[in-house]
Amino acid sequence: MFELQDLIARITPLDVASIELARARQLQLTKPAGSLGRLEDIAVQLAGVTRNAMPEIQRRAVVVMAADHGVTAEGVSAFPKDVTPQMVLNFLTGGAAINVLARQADAAVTVVDIGVDADLQHPQLLSRKVRSGTANMAQEAAMSRQEALQAIGIGVEVLERLASEGLDLVATGEMGIGNTTAASAITACLLNVPAKDVTGRGTGIDDQQLANKVRIIERAIAQNNPDIDQPLDVLAKVGGLEIAGLVGVILAAAARRIPVVLDGFISSAAGLVAYALCPTVKDYLLAGHLSVELGHRLILEKLGLEPLLNLHLRLGEGTGAVLAMHIIEGALRTHREMSTFAEAGVSDKA
Ligand SMILES: Cc1cc2ncn([C@H]3O[C@H](COP(=O)(O)O)[C@@H](O)[C@H]3O)c2cc1C
Ligand SMILES: O=C(O)c1cccnc1
């Protein structure tokens, strides 16, 4: 098995020299200084990430990690757990929202069965089942520490595979009925806040189901008593296999100096675990959008990230992250392709 500490040790701060060169270039481009707002910040950040003052994105990918959740037995989702494998097949035949938006953004979709509770076969599916869904965390630990580590290792393997084919920007995506419950439980623990402050309606539960969901999360935390200072303990006891897989994707991307676009609440819960394991990782992250799901804003505040879009999405799959790729691309294109004042013969500020 891979060594988590070795991976974390490979995540180093952004490159200051490239950041300074990129900032200097922004000041020379034919526009008032700062007028491209956050596009300028993105170009400068990605210069530091890639150690290249003129960063460029040629190859994009979204990794969709899919897994089931034993806690669905407690009635926490509006949909039955069978939807997880059904949607995986939909991803593989190209009919889901993420397929459409990834086609538009020219991003490759990689679908990983990291723990779906069904026998799934498809030539395009990466079959890496750690176990057939987590256990019901309201009764016992969702998974063992070993299983959580194994799932993180699979995320690392998937990212390495994509990187070996060429990868400049990666988005996190997930599918797993019940996974907003796991994401809320992780967030409550790692931010040390009450479950009710970070629990939302997921796929669309009513008020009564929401009250039940909060109770189930409280029970899961009380039952398993995760050590909130040990992110792996939290991830294993009240997390999910797809969330663990995304932790691996995020850490491995940062170690390879590949920028990561986080999607919504569930992806960001993975980001929060990665950050708790290695705070430097936040410099490699961009927040694609702000999800409707309660709790997302608190995670982004903790990570110091401002969402690029606010489209009232609450889907997951990587949809908001892939949409935000267009903005990131705009940031890098203006940075690279605009003329400087000198090149264009435009007078600089008096
Ligand atoms: C058809 C369908 C497609 C989806 N694609 C993503 N999700 C999203 O909803 C689920 C989380 O919500 P909850 O915790 O309430 O179950 C996850 O699978 C997430 O990716 C979907 C949900 C459904 C029903
Ligand atoms: O923000 C998300 O990722 C999300 C929200 C609701 C349901 N599924 C995903």
Q: Answer yes or no: 317 catalytic.
A: yes
What is the spatial distance between Cα 299 and Cα 267, in angstroms, rounded to a whole number? 10
CA of 81 to the centre of ligand 1 (A): 9
Ligand 1 atom closest to the Cα of residue 203 is 15
CA of 341 to the centre of ligand 2 (A): 44
Percentage of the residues of the chain whose pLDDT score is greater than 90: 99
Q: Whose CA is nearest to atom 5 of ligand 2?
A: 314
- Which ligand has an atom closest to residue 291 CA? 2
205 closest CA partner among 193, 214, 197, 195: 214
Statement to judge: residues 72 and 18 lie in one domain = no
Statement to judge: residues 275 and 240 lie in one domain = yes
Helix (H, G, I), strand (E, B) or coil at 60: strand
CATH code for position 179: 3.40.50.10210
Q: Which of 88, 114, 177, 313 to mutate to test the pocket of ligand 1 (most atoms within 8 A of CB)?
A: 177
Residue 148 carries which DSSP code? H
Ligand 2 atom closest to the Cα of residue 291 is 1
The answer to the question of residue 124 being in a domain is: yes
This prediction has a pTM of 0.99
- Which ligand has an atom closest to residue 178 CA? 1
Contact predicate 333/58, CB 8 Å: no
Ligand 1 atom closest to the Cα of residue 97 is 5
State the pLDDT at residue 267: 98
Average pLDDT, the chain: 98
Statement to judge: residues 84 and 36 lie in one domain = no
- pLDDT-derived band at 1 (thresholds 50, 70, 90) equals low
- Which ligand has an atom closest to residue 287 CA? 2
| Catalytic entry in 40, 74, 174, 317 | 317
The answer to the question of residue 120 being in a domain is: yes
Across the range 260-271, mean pLDDT stands at 99
The answer to the question of residue 349 being in a domain is: no
Which residues surround ligand 1 with Cβ inside 6 Å? 77-79, 83, 87, 174-181, 202-203, 315-317
Whether the pLDDT of residue 2 is over 90: the answer is: no
Task: Note the pLDDT tens digit of each residue in 138-196.
Answer: 999 999 999 999 999 999 999 999 999 999 999 999 999 999 999 999 999 999 999 99
Statement to judge: residues 47 and 86 lie in one domain = no
Statement to judge: residues 112 and 204 lie in one domain = yes
Statement to judge: residues 156 and 285 lie in one domain = yes
Across the range 291-300, mean pLDDT stands at 98
Contact predicate 279/249, CB 8 Å: no
The answer to the question of residue 257 being in a domain is: yes
Statement to judge: residues 66 and 48 lie in one domain = no
The answer to the question of residue 259 being in a domain is: yes
Task: Note the pLDDT tens digit of each residue in 70-97.
Answer: 999 999 999 999 999 999 999 999 999 9
Statement to judge: residues 171 and 210 lie in one domain = yes
Which residues surround ligand 2 with Cβ inside 6 Å? 180, 202-203, 263-266, 291, 293, 296, 314-316
Q: Whose CA is nearest to atom 9 of ligand 2?
A: 316
The answer to the question of residue 350 being in a domain is: no
What is the spatial distance between Cα 192 and Cα 153, in angstroms, rounded to a whole number? 27
CA of 47 to the centre of ligand 2 (A): 30
Residue 168 carries which DSSP code? S
Tokens 């799901």 map to which residue? 293
- The total of structural domains in the chain comes to 2
State the pLDDT at residue 214: 99
- Which ligand has an atom closest to residue 89 CA? 1
The answer to the question of residue 47 being in a domain is: yes
CATH code for position 12: 1.10.1610.10
Statement to judge: residues 172 and 287 lie in one domain = yes
Phi/psi-derived region of residue 293, left when phi > 0, alpha when psi is between -120 and 50, beta in every other case: beta
Contact predicate 231/190, CB 8 Å: yes
The answer to the question of residue 291 being in a domain is: yes
Statement to judge: residues 170 and 210 lie in one domain = yes
328 closest CA partner among 44, 80, 81, 7: 44
Statement to judge: residues 290 and 310 lie in one domain = yes
Domain that holds residue 51: 4-55+334-344
Residue 295 carries which DSSP code? T
State the pLDDT at residue 350: 86
Handedness of CA 240, 242, 243, 245 (dihedral sign): positive
Amino acid at 286: L
CA of 181 to the centre of ligand 1 (A): 11
Element (H or E) spanning 287, and its range? strand 285-287
CA of 138 to the centre of ligand 2 (A): 21
Ligand 1 atom closest to the Cα of residue 181 is 14
Statement to judge: residues 15 and 114 lie in one domain = no
